[in-house]
Amino acid sequence: MAFGTETVYGLGGRADSAAAVAAIYAAKQRPAGNPLICHYPDLESARVDAEFGPVGLALAAAFWPGPLTLVLPRAPGCRIAANAGPPDTLAVRVPGHDAARALLRAVGVPIAAPSANPSGGLSPTTAHHVLAGLGEKIDAVLDCGPCPVGIESTVLNLSGPYATLLRPGRVTVDEIEALIGPLGVPGDEVVRGPGLLGPHYAPRAALRLNALCATAEEGFLAFGEGGRAQGPVFQLSTRGDLTEAAARLFTGLRLLDDIVLRRGLSDIAVMPIPNEGIGVAINDRLARAALRT
Ligand code: TXA
Ligand code: MG
């Protein structure tokens, strides 16, 4: 069943059931090597499956419930099915969304939930987006309203010799470093998120980044003032607010993608987004979407 979180909608299934985990991979057509995040209603329940250590506990105390995923060593009694991820580590998160946590508390088992989209596509931020992408493949979607953050959680690897960022999100590197000190630079010695490399989050249309104007043959994803477009426009935030832009990013890309394909336009031109705060995560998703072609 799909459900909303503060970041994006997830496609949830029992993480302790190999059959449920296999059904998630099948519905999304997700490559088997790309592991799933396990979701919990609180820190206590997550500690059954993962070894936190002092750094993990400090981060959980500061940012949970909220949009931060921690990759940790598995606990000895870990209940998670073998096909949900690597044998030694586990990605865990406590979502900052009341309906999601109520659901997780009611089911009483860890819930594996990747974003509820066909693999490689744009993450869904409304129940309608979920149905558009996976409607034929899933039993139900719990409509939790539009996701307030709108961009997937920050993923931090704490399973290696030092903490490294695997995916930028609403919780920024500055906020994390203020608490635990400088992060390491990911290298060969640390686990990298297999799904975090290369093209991802792709609309069907091509993207042209850092564009200040768009021709009549292009859709235009605008941010703030100063852009000029002759074709269809989606404004991420008139007042140039990055938080608002993140919440509207995937909806805007979907709408422009549909229009570009329907009208036979050439691509989506995207205005520059300041690379600060959650803007880092927005630019990460846009860069991956643009890699597609
Ligand atoms: O905001 C979110 O995190 C959403 C909501 C539904 O919680 N979920 C989400 O899941 O974005 P997904 O599967 O689309 O992205 C999870 C990322 C993947 O790229 C995966 O490679 C990485 O986290 N990941 C999961 N387990 C990992 C592990 N054990 N080690 C390294 N990376 C891992
Ligand atoms: Mg995803």
Handedness of CA 202, 203, 208, 213 (dihedral sign): negative
> How does the average pLDDT of the chain come out, rounded?
95
Asked whether 126 lines ligand 1 (CB < 6 A), one says no
Cα of 76 vs centre of ligand 1, distance in Å, is 22
Overall pTM surpassing 0.85 (yes/no): yes
The mean per-residue pLDDT over the stretch 217-238 comes to: 98
Q: What confidence score (pLDDT) does residue 189 get?
A: 45
Which residue in 121, 142, 128, 105 sits closest to 257, CA to CA?
Answer: 121
pLDDT score for 244: 98
| Nearest alpha carbon, ligand 1 atom 15 | 114
pLDDT confidence of residue 190: 47
Residues 6 or more apart in contact with residue 177 via CB below 8 angstroms: 183
Quick check: 211 pLDDT over 90?
yes
Return the bridge partners of 228, or none: 213
Q: Is 195 in the pocket of ligand 1 (CB under 6 A)?
A: yes
Summarize the confidence of residues 40-53 as an average pLDDT: 98
pLDDT band at 202 (very low <50, low <70, confident <90, very high): confident
Ligand 1 contact, 287 CB (< 6 A)? no
What the chain holds in terms of domains, given with CATH numbers, is 2-180 (3.90.870.10), 206-292 (3.40.50.11030)
pLDDT tens for each residue of 164-183: 999 999 999 999 999 999 99
Name which residue sits closest to atom 32 of ligand 1, judged by CA. 193
In sequence order, what DSSP letters do the residues of 4-34 get, joined into one string? --SSS-EE-EETT-HHHHHHHHHHHT--TTS
pLDDT at res. 176: 98
Rg (CA), the chain: 19
Residue 13 has pLDDT above 70, yes or no: yes
| Each residue's pLDDT tens digit, 50-82 | 999 999 999 999 999 999 999 999 999 999 999
